[in-house]
Chains A and B, each alone.
Chain A
Amino acid sequence: MFRYYFLLGIRSLRRNPALTALMVLTLAVGVAASISTLTILHVMSGDPIPQKSDRLFMPLMDNGPLKGYTPGEQPNDIQMSYRDAINHLSAKFGERRAALYGILMAIEPARKDLPAIESEGVATNKDFFAMFDTPFVHGQAWTENDDTKAADVVVLGNKLAEKLYGKTNPVGQYLTMIGHQFQIVGVLAPWEPSPRFYRFAGRNATFGEQEDFFIPLASAIRHEITHAGGMGCTGDTEPGWQGRLNSECTWITFWFELKTASLRQELQSYLDNYAADQRKLGRYMRQAKNKLFNVMEWMEETKVVGNDNKLSAWLAFGFLMLCLVNTVGLLLAKFSVRASEVGVRRALGASRKEIFNQFLIESSVIGLAGGVAGLILAFGALALIAMQSKQLTVVAHMDWQMLTITFVMSVTAAIVAGLFPTWRACQVTPAIQLKSQ
């Protein structure tokens, strides 16, 4: 019977073409609007590293001066000073530790046909790669020895490697960066966690492309490569590079990886002890609470999903609701002219349940049609959004999950919209209908 009703539903699409087209279109537009905004929200707020997002922790400690401080005030910056980063790295608490900051470096390709380029990369220590499970195509991360010796080694991102060396394996070769020779030790496979959670550089940079390169933190410090992101300075700073290293200026991002999420309390007490120790040296005089965030908490704290995205999603859902109300009205109109048909079927012995099934399946057919059309529209809308900027290109793409949701959503929407008109259709009393024929 299902198949028969389904075919009837498809046929009935043609019965009232203008009305049906309107219904399908309304549904499609509503579904497309909510799906495209939902996709963006979904990608933005997704877990970028599900296997360990609850074991990676970002500390937030307030190292600002006591002068002019009112207790309870937010820290000036969410990053860490170089002194603290170095202290935490050498304290070796937890499974792994990574300190990092964004840098810009001039690269002079060996190939003479390519001009010098300015590339964006990250200065960090070797733990970074294992901590964030970065995939390698060639070679591997540098060694701890390279970290201590501040060696000039580099791990290339997939795109830059391809640009400079094509498909060949460049491991072992030397690359001229800011006039120095850096030996290539590894090349990453495409790696674009989205959001790019590990390095916060303002919301607009959170959905960027992959990093071009990675060099040891110690090497970047030795070459005095300045940060490419923001820096927060409170208190007085001596001029020059060493002055910056000794200062309380914050410009480094720090991550701890723990063996299990349950060790969080231990990390918390480690940080509290650290702050207490530093207080003996005259630092951390604000005695502010030392905070810890895991990956998802951190994304919430830094508002990775902006208000505009939430607003769009809400409005889109309001719009979908309107489309549903509209579809209810139109279905009511469509079904009401078929009261006589229902009367005849009922008189011939069809139960209310049969009528209910028939009309509900018919609504689902409309929902299906709306879903297909909505999907096409959503692809169009996302393509349009992606055209707006490079960052949005990463965000505005649909995955299988969203594709399934679109379908389920549009069919459910149509069924929900169809419930009331279907119920009304079932109320037809055969006797009165037949009499009035």
Chain B
Amino acid sequence: MKLNFEIRPIFSALLRSKTGAILVALQVAISLAILANAVYIVQLRMEVVSRPSGVAEENDLFSINVSNRKPAEHAEQIATQKHDEAIIRGVSGVQDVTRVSQTPLSWSGSSTGVSLDRKQAATSSSVSMYVVSQSVMKLWGLKLADGRDFNQGEFREIDANTSKDFPDVVIITKATAEKLFPGQASVVGKNIYFGSGDDAKETRIIGVLDRLQTHGAQIGAKGEISVVLPTRMSNDPYSKYSVRAEPGQRDRVMKDVEVTLRKASATPLIINMRSMENDRTRRYRADNGLAWMLIAVCVLLLLVTASGIVGISSLWVTQRRKHIGVRRALGARRIDILRYFITENFMITTFGIACGVALAIGLNQLLVSKLELTKLPIAYLLGASVIFWILGIIAVVGPAARAASISPATATRST
């Protein structure tokens, strides 16, 4: 085609005035390097944010923390807990309520070490511990992958201050099973030990949950290493009630529950309530914030680069008025002029993209070594390259069209 024929003269012309070309190529290179990495980071963050917690219909759930009760003995505390549950359950619009030690994504709770036998000196894994006073399968909409739920008889009542008692059975998540027993098909019926050494507490796994994120919802497999223990505890430093409201009624139910609890108490209570939606927003605020900042930077990058290309191309069109006039007078058609500018820009952009890909890999290496990022997949480099090719063409079309519209007569006259 004729296009092949044109590349050489354009290239020679470019070599004669390198400054502008280098500036454009440099802009493309820098933007591509930043864009590819930024989009990759956004993608990583979005993956983290969109992980399911394992809890169904999160928006109907909320938790209540009640404090400033009168100091009381074990039995009285347990009775108060049951009484609170009954009061909350009595509020219209409440579907289910259970006393739990922690809720997923809430950033508040406790982890403990688990090992596979008593002799094992070091603990095998740190697990996030959900201590629940009744089954939470229905409350949280959890799915069992294997085994069964707790029986009523398996729930204990323990005083955390005086007793070293511990439940006999435990339900763990798939991720926990994989961590403790890598590669084993079924772990139901196996024993695990809480703590280490002679005092470690033996418990039997009776069920495996599909998924239940920890209270911290950390990144990676760690975020799902949790266990559920059937116990109602007194003198528990971490405690709350997890409540499920009828669909769409959460906010009203939250207000009603607070008012009802206050009315029923002799002492002025301190009540902290958080919806699970709030917990989720707070957990991922930093990730979302960073993602949005990066997206804003990317958009600005593209705008700035495009404006740079438009600026330099316009400069060239002005500078080359006379040349264009001469070419037109010698028989070049408008399309030829248009093609000249577009081809020229395409060559510069391609050069910039080549440099940009190298720069992007370099920048990624730096981020990998300094900020614990993972390696940039090639797809992102390809995608970014395509974006800049298209951007380059779009940006140059305007000035090129202006160049093509220069009439040979006026352009050559003013000399």
Contact = CB atoms under 8 A, between A and B. Distances in A.
Interface in B13-69: 19-20, 23-24, 26-27, 30-31, 33-34, 37-38, 41, 67-68
A108 B268 contact: yes
Contact of A236 (B197, B294, B304): B197
B297 interface: yes
B20 A239 contact: no
A329 B24 contact: yes
Contacts of B300: 29, 33, 319
B268 A115 contact: yes
Given A26-B304, A106-B67, A318-B34, A239 B164 contact: yes
Contact of A308 (B27, B199, B286, B318): B286
Given A236-B195, A322-B31, A328 B23 contact: yes
Interface of A: 19, 22, 26, 29-30, 33, 67-69, 104, 106, 108, 115-118, 178-179, 226, 236, 239-241, 306-308, 310-312, 315-316, 318-319, 321-323, 325-326, 328-330, 332-333, 336-337, 385, 388-389, 424, 436
B304 A116 contact: no
Given A108-B268, A332-B315, A311 B371 contact: yes
Given A68-B196, A322-B304, A326-B305, A388 B289 contact: yes
**Which 3 residue pairs are nearest across A and B when measured between Cβ atoms?**
A68-B122, A68-B121, A106-B68
B415 to A, nearest CB: 8
Nearest to A327: B308
Contacts of A236: 195, 197, 199
By CB atoms of chain B within 10 A, which of A26, A179, A318, A385 has the most?
A: A318
A124 B302 CA distance: 54
B290 A308 contact: yes
Interface stretch (B78-86, B87-95, B155-163, B247-255): B155-163
A333 B314 CA distance: 8
B162 A315 contact: no
B68 A33 contact: no
Nearest to B31: A322
Contact of A319 (B71, B282, B301): B301
Nearest to B30: A322
B285 A389 contact: yes
A197 B24 CA distance: 46
29 contacts: A26-B304, A33-B297, A67-B122, A68-B123, A108-B68, A108-B268, A118-B272, A179-B71, A236-B195, A236-B199, A310-B370, A311-B41, A311-B371, A312-B290, A312-B293, A315-B38, A315-B294, A316-B297, A318-B30, A323-B304, A325-B30, A326-B307, A329-B27, A329-B312, A329-B315, A332-B19, A333-B312, A333-B314, A337-B318
B188 to A, nearest CB: 28
B269 interface: yes
Contacts of B24: 329
Interface residues of B, number: 61
Contacts of B286: 306, 308
B225 to A, nearest CB: 17
A108 B196 CA distance: 43
Contacts of B413: none
Contact of A116 (B199, B268, B314): B268
B8 interface: no
B270 interface: yes
Contact of A330 (B68, B199, B311): B311
A179 B70 contact: yes
Nearest to A234: B113
B367 interface: yes
Contact of B162 (A239, A321, A323): A239
B307 A26 contact: yes
Contacts of A69: 122
Interface in B280-323: 282, 285-286, 289-290, 293-294, 297, 300-301, 304-305, 307-308, 311-312, 314-315, 318-319
Interface in B362-407: 363, 367, 370-372
A30 B319 CA distance: 29
A118 B67 contact: yes
A330 B309 CA distance: 9
Nearest to B115: A68
Given A30-B304, A179-B70, A319-B34, 8 more contacts: A239-B161, A239-B162, A318-B363, A325-B23, A329-B27, A330-B308, A332-B312, A333-B314
Given A322-B305, A326-B307, A332-B19, A226 B237 contact: yes
